[in-house]
Amino acid sequence: MSLYGTMRTGVSGMNAQANRLSTVGDNIANASTAGYKKASTQFSSLILPSSEGSYNSGGVTTNVRYSISSQGTFTYTTSSTDLAINGRGFFIVQGSDGIEYLTRAGNFTGMSDGTLQNAAGFTLMGYQYSTTEDPTIVVNGFDGLTEINLSSASLTATASTTGVLDVNLRATEAVGYTKTTSLVAYDSQGNSRLLEFTYEKIADNQWSVDVAYDGTSIGSQTLTFDVNGQLTATPVTVTTTAVGAATLAGAELPSLTIDMSGTTQLGADFKVGNGKIDGNAASDVVGHEISEDGVVYLKYSNGKLEPKYRIAMADVQSPDQLKPLAGNVYTQSNDSGVIVMGYAGNGSYGTILSGALEDSNVDIAEELTSMIESQRNYTANSKVFQTGSELMEVLVNLKR
């Protein structure tokens, strides 16, 4: 038996318990940090070769593990930019160094430039949204990502192109009877333009409809009904001609296609069942909403919601093996597996909760218990070192 070995064993034990106390200290300090994942110290024995007549004391080594895959509880807030992930996945954020990282810390706040940054100063990333197709993502890389910016669109106007107008025409009206109704459309500059629809009975079970702007006809169609008062052919549409800039003081009202397939001729008063045209007047951004699948909608003053971004998400095969960095972010390691990109609510990715934060998964009671255990074990290891030191002193004094 080596007394020096005994002392080194005591030092090894004290270092191991000091490491455990360090992780406990970090956990307690971050018990209120949104999205924080606790660290734990795992111990492994270190055995040295020994003979039958002599035992060489070894020691203990430690390995720090992170419970990144363990989801915390949720705290609900009044801010729609506070985001939590219910299930697997990570937000993609960009640091001031221009590098992308993974995080579960979704305490984002709108900045003066319109971007969303969390408490650690990392900017939320996503993809531009298309109304016709999902954004194309690079599965194993961050190419194509852009900063989500809530002020990237100010005043906007959309010209009308399609609409629907379904009415009931009284079947007992005499030939030559006319009835007028109207719809509001929007030109290329967001100005409202009133379109008049005039229905005239031209024969039994047959009506004509004329669309006019400012007293000028821009489209017409004939509606023919069967004995049951239903259109004999569907769909039935009327297509208007475009109204040019010379008439609209520099703006343009494009050609409109109005669907009238729901029009009937029954023995009841004239009634509009459905009437609407797309497009919108010039409107400013007054707010935003974020859906469970990560679509960021900009809300305009006219009440319209327009999808603008899709929040990007990422995952790895072994989240607990990610490399943690300052700011509650993670990067890929050799043992975590490659980063795979995706969307919330798609495949194995969780959904996004707006107005909520994921709490730290630290259990204070468990950490305090670990702290007391480490304190006792540290003291016991120090006694081993102290005893070995005292025995060394006895051995040295034998010469006197």
Give the model confidence (pLDDT) of 279-288 as tens digits: 888 777 778 8
Distance in angstroms (rounded) separating the CA atoms of residues 227 and 261? 17
Query: For position 391, what pLDDT does the model report?
Result: 85
Q: Are residues 188 and 260 in the same domain?
A: yes
Cis peptide before 235 (omega within 30 of 0): yes
Are the C-beta atoms of 321 and 331 separated by less than 8 Å? no
* Token pair recorded at residue 3: 């007394």
Give domain status of residue 13, yes or no: yes
Structural domain count, the chain:
3
Give domain status of residue 74, yes or no: no
Q: Are residues 288 and 148 in the same domain?
A: yes
How many CA atoms are closer than 13 Å to the CA of 202, on its beta-carbon side?
13
Give domain status of residue 376, yes or no: yes
> In whole numbers, what is the pLDDT of the chain averaged over residues?
90
Q: Are residues 143 and 176 in the same domain?
A: no
Domain boundary among 282, 306, 321: 282
Give domain status of residue 181, yes or no: yes
* Token pair recorded at residue 367: 């950490």
pLDDT band, residue 132 (cuts 50/70/90)? low
Give domain status of residue 354, yes or no: no
For 389, left (φ over 0), alpha (ψ -120 to 50), or beta? alpha
Question: What does the pLDDT look like over 323-380, one tens digit per residue?
Answer: 999 999 999 999 999 999 988 988 889 999 999 999 999 999 999 999 999 999 999 9
Q: Are residues 52 and 19 in the same domain?
A: yes
* Token pair recorded at residue 18: 């000091």
Give domain status of residue 72, yes or no: no
Q: Are residues 291 and 144 in the same domain?
A: yes
Q: Are residues 165 and 146 in the same domain?
A: no
Q: What mean pLDDT is predicted for residues 72-79?
A: 94
Domain boundary among 238, 261, 282: 282
pLDDT band, residue 237 (cuts 50/70/90)? very high
Query: For position 153, what pLDDT does the model report?
Result: 60
CATH number of the domain enclosing 211: 2.60.98.20
| 273: containing domain | 157-282
For 153, residues 6+ apart whose C-beta sits below 8 A from its C-beta are: 285, 298, 306, 308
Q: Are residues 202 and 174 in the same domain?
A: yes
pLDDT band, residue 134 (cuts 50/70/90)? low
Query: For position 283, what pLDDT does the model report?
Result: 77
Question: What does the pLDDT look like over 182-227, one tens digit per residue?
Answer: 999 999 998 999 999 999 999 999 999 999 999 999 999 999 999 9
- CA torsion, points 164, 168, 171, 174, in degrees to nearest 10? -70
Domain boundary among 244, 267, 282: 282
Look at the pTM and tell me if it is higher than 0.75.
no
Q: Are residues 252 and 110 in the same domain?
A: no
Q: Are residues 344 and 365 in the same domain?
A: no
Q: Are residues 105 and 216 in the same domain?
A: no
pLDDT band, residue 135 (cuts 50/70/90)? low
Q: Are residues 148 and 291 in the same domain?
A: yes
